[in-house]
Amino acid sequence: MRLRNAGKMKTRPNWHGRIGVSLGLAAAIGVALLFVGSVAAAPVATAAASVTYRAPYSGTEASNEFGLLSGSGGPICGVAEYFPLAPFFYLYAGVANESVKATAQSCGPGTSFASPEAMAGFDSANFTTTSGTHHIKATWNFDLSVKLVATPGSPSQTANAYFFLSTQAYLIDLTNGSLFNQDNSPYFTHEITSGTYSHHFSKIVLSTYVNATLVKTHSYELGVFEYLNVYASVSPGASSAYAFVNMGSGGRSAALVSVSGI
């Protein structure tokens, strides 16, 4: 197994359960500055939890690429991963761009697969807020083009191609070290084992929730991210597979529409 991690991302919790591989926002010091250019309301420390924030956001951009090439029963061969557009989150626009591709061709005596993944989002600065239960919601709107091809070499051979899109959120209590994970695992996916699938998806909405009881004297950090994974796998013989998702050019993107509940 060969694992590649192009480390542009600082260490953070990662509980993203892929159908195989793995899934920040903004805040300024003091919640009143949590989202620059957002709703012009009273400082968040006294605002209702229903206040909604939109781009431009303030915080630290965080993105990364993960690559996994694997084979069984022989050397790893016939598989490749590509990142035609490196992942990046633009704080001012609230938009992430990236594209990911995987290819696989039967090679040698074993099954081989390629499973590259990209992530983009951002982390907040430390902030404080009101005491009580907060229902934090981060909503993404995705526009992406997908092409999947799976060609089994014979009825006894297999080929598989899919993509998997998901979102992640977490909240860290920096005062006592508590971690609040997201309360749901929204995702969007499609898989084929034979033939060709090509489609443009627009306005795919995924909302992530974090429910937490917070204390006004504590300091917190919030993170929000989106993950894009593609997968191409073949058995021994003469099979091939291809998976490509464009979420970075021709108007394709992932937009963080809003964050509420801080």
pLDDT tens-place string over residues 146-205: 999 999 999 999 999 999 999 999 999 999 999 999 999 899 999 999 999 999 999 999
Would you say residue 82 lies in a domain? Answer: yes
Q: What is the pLDDT of residue 74?
A: 62
Does some domain include residue 221?
A: yes
Three-state DSSP state, 131: coil
Within a domain: residue 211?
yes
**Counting every residue, how long is the chain?**
262
Instruction: Examine residue 13 and state whether it is found in any structural domain, yes or no.
Output: no
Q: What is the mean pLDDT of the chain?
A: 83
Name which of 121-125, 167-171, 207-211 the model is least confident about: 121-125
The reply to whether 19 falls in a domain is no
CA 61/CA 49 separation, integer angstroms = 24
| The pLDDT of residue 4 is above 90 | no
Domain containing residue 118 = 2-8+34-260
pLDDT band, residue 39 (cuts 50/70/90): very low
At residue 29, does pLDDT exceed 60?
no
User: Is 22 a residue whose pLDDT tops 60?
Assistant: no
| 75 — pLDDT class (breaks 50, 70, 90) | low
pLDDT(10) > 80: no
- The residue-averaged pLDDT of 257-261 equals 92
Closest CA to 188 of 19, 26, 10, 6: 19
Query: Considering the chain, what percentage of its residues have pLDDT values greater than 70?
Result: 79
Residue 16 pLDDT > 80, yes or no?
Answer: no
Q: Which residues of 25-45 are buried (b: 16+ CB within 10 A; e: fewer)?
A: bbbbeebbbbbbebeeeeebe
Residue pair 246/252 in contact (Cβ under 8 Å)? The answer is yes
Is pLDDT of 25 > 60?
A: no
Beta-ladder partners of 104:
79, 241
User: Which range (34-43, 104-113, 193-202) has the least confidence?
Assistant: 34-43
Helix and strand tally (H, E) in the chain? 0, 15
Looking at residues 55-59, what average pLDDT do you find?
89
Which pTM does this prediction carry? Answer: 0.81
- The answer to whether position 26 is within a domain reads no
pLDDT of 215 > 80? The answer is yes
pLDDT at residue 66, rounded to an integer: 93
In a domain, 18, yes or no: no
- The more confidently predicted of residues 35 and 82 is 82
pLDDT at 81 over 90: yes
pLDDT of residue 128: 87
With 50 as the cut, is the pLDDT of residue 27 above it? no
**Is 22 among the domain residues?**
no
Domain count, the chain: 1
Given a contact cutoff of 8 angstroms between Cβ atoms, the answer to whether 44 and 31 are in contact is yes
DSSP 12-76: -------SS--------SSGGGSSTTS---S-GGGS-TT-EE-SSP-SEEEEEEEEEEEESSS--
How sure is the predictor about 9, in pLDDT bands with cuts at 50, 70 and 90? very low
